[in-house]
Amino acid sequence: MAKTVLLPIDPQEQNLIDAAMKQAITQAQERQAELHILTVVPGYNNPMVASYFPQNAMEQALDAVDEKLTEYIEKQVPKDILTQLHVKSGNPAKEIIKMAKKLNAEMIVIPSNKHGRIDQALIGSVASKVVERASCSVLVVRNV
Ligand code: ADP
């Protein structure tokens, strides 16, 4: 199985991840690994809420996110790195951990935005769950 570096991208934060993208590229090059990018579109969480949306609404959302990210990846990632995009729906932290296990990832590179004093958390909830639960190394890249 090929070595892999996993970079999760919040579909709402594509413009804020340049520093993490650079790190993920460096890590993939140093390890001669593939770069796998995962984005998770949150699900409806509740079947009753889901019943109010047309059946293909989620598929359309996934396709739109896929298209936007593919464009971003083409611009950012050097052509010599094998790159694969995964678009899933569900709970972001759970899907990130699941994908890291499935790929047997060597490393997860995860961005972290600056948090205010009010929530007192130094990293966000998705990033902290990933750090807690991942069985591989996790590189948290801060956006200052
Ligand atoms: P922050 O406030 O720093 O954005 P989060 O913990 O919510 O804190 O997010 C940190 C990182 O977790 C994101 O930059 C992204 O890498 C990952 N992440 C969060 N939500 C998603 C998602 N829906 N799909 C993929 N990755 C996500």
Q: Domains in the chain: how many in total?
A: 1
Give the residue whose CA is nearest to atom 2 of ligand 1: 124
pLDDT of residue 66: 93
Which region, left, alpha or beta, applies to residue 39 given φ > 0 means left and ψ of -120 to 50 means alpha? beta
pLDDT tens digits along 34-77 = 999 999 998 877 788 888 888 788 889 899 999 999 999 999 99
Q: Which contiguous run of DSSP H or E holds residue 6? A: strand 4-8
What is the radius of gyration, based on Cα positions, of the chain? 15
Separation CA 65–CA 43 (nearest Å): 14
Residues facing residue 138 across a β-bridge: 108
Q: Which of 7, 10, 37 to mutate to test the pocket of ligand 1 (most atoms within 8 A of CB)?
A: 10
CB 110 within 8 A of CB 20: yes
Q: What is the CATH number of the domain that holds 49?
A: 3.40.50.620
Quote the domain boundaries for residue 102: 4-143
What pTM does this model have? 0.92
